[in-house]
């Protein structure tokens, strides 16, 4: 475990985590209110949804209160992931991987599975830290080859491996 660098650094996720889950709970609770809890004398779609989302709000509030009351930020009970290193902001890793997924979703209808996978692998490779054109091309080719192997051996015959028209 890395030593806590400052009180505020430790405090922020500790306080923000229950606030985040509480906000999601409130959003889900409001959505559940749009559903009927009962349909005549039967349970409706809203009942369980309300119970669960109300539970999320109640538990998050308790969690928030417990987090505020703890004085020692390094307390292992207050830190959900004490043994893990703290993430450092690195836009490239996130952008590369999320960009790879988006690239696949956007190009799959036009390029087919193999080329879209190759493109996704290339973008992800950039996110993972590859810089040279050779390394990026190799990752793209490996991604395309993997997609081709899976597509030919395991996917149904109708799977769109290639661009329409090929």
Partner 1 sequence: MTGWMGELASILTFHNLALCFSGALLGTITGVLPGIGPAATLALLLPLTYTLDPAGALIMLSAIYYGAQYGSSTTAILLNLPGETSGIVTALDGHRLALAGRAGPAIAIAALSSLFAGLFCAVFIAFAAGPIAEVSLLISPAGLAGMIALGLFAAAVIAPGPPLAAITLILLGACLGLVGTDSGGGLPRFTLGLTDLRDGIGFMPLVMGLFAIAELIRSLETGGRPERIAPVRWPWPTRADFAASWAPTLRGAAIGTMLGVIPGVSTVMSSLAARGAERAFETRDAPLGQGAMAGVAAPEAANNASAQSALVPLLTLGIPGNPVIAVLAGALMIQGIAPGPSFISANPDLFGALIASLVVGNVILVVLNLPLAGIWASLLRIPFRKLVPLILVFALIGVHSVRSSLFDVWLMLGFGVFGWILVRLRLEPTPIVLGFVLGPAFEEYLRRTLLFSRGDPSVFLTDPVSLACLIVIALGATALIYRHRRRSLAQRG
Q: Which of residues 82-111 bind partner 1 (CB under 8 A)?
A: 83-90, 93-94, 97-98, 100-102, 104-105, 108-109
Q: Under the criterion CB under 8 A, does residue 112 sit at the interface with partner 1?
A: no
CA separation for the pair 97, 120 (Å, rounded): 8
Q: How far is the CB of 165 from partner 1 (least distance, A)?
A: 19
Does residue 11 interact with partner 1 by CB under 8 A?
no
Among 6, 62, 71, 162, binds partner 1 (CB under 8 A): 62
Q: Closest approach of Cβ 97 to partner 1, in Å?
A: 5
Rounded Cα–Cα distance for residues 42 and 37 (Å): 9
Compose the 14-43 pattern: x for residues touching partner 1 by CB under 8 A, - for all others: --xxx-xx--xx--x--xx--xx--x-xxx
Number of residues interacting with partner 1: please give it, by CB under 8 A: 78
- Min dist CB 164 to partner 1, Å, is 14
Is position 121 an interface residue for partner 1 (rule: CB under 8 A)? yes
Contacts of 15-22 spanning 24+ positions with Cβ under 8 A: 15/64, 15/67, 15/68, 17/63, 17/67, 17/80, 18/60, 18/61, 18/63, 18/64, 18/67, 19/60, 19/64, 21/56, 21/59, 21/60, 21/63, 22/56, 22/57, 22/60, 22/61, 22/64
């Amino acid at each position: 475990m890395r030593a806590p660098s400052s009180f505020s650094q430790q405090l922020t996720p500790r306080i923000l985590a229950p606030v985040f889950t509480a906000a999601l709970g409130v959003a889900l609770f409001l959505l559940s209110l749009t559903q009927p809890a009962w349909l005549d004398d039967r349970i409706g779609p809203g009942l369980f949804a309300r119970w669960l989302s109300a539970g999320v709000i109640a538990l998050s509030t308790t969690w928030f209160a417990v987090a505020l009351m703890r004085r020692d930020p390094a307390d292992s009970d207050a830190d959900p992931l004490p043994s893990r290193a703290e993430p450092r902001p690195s836009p490239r890793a996130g952008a590369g991987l999320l960009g790879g997924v988006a690239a696949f979703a956007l190009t799959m209808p036009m390029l087919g599975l193999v080329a879209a996978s190759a493109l996704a692998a290339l973008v992800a490779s950039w996110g993972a830290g590859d810089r040279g054109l050779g390394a990026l091309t190799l990752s793209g080719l490996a991604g395309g080859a993997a997609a081709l192997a899976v597509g030919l051996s395991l996917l149904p015959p109708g799977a769109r491996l290639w661009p329409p028209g090929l």
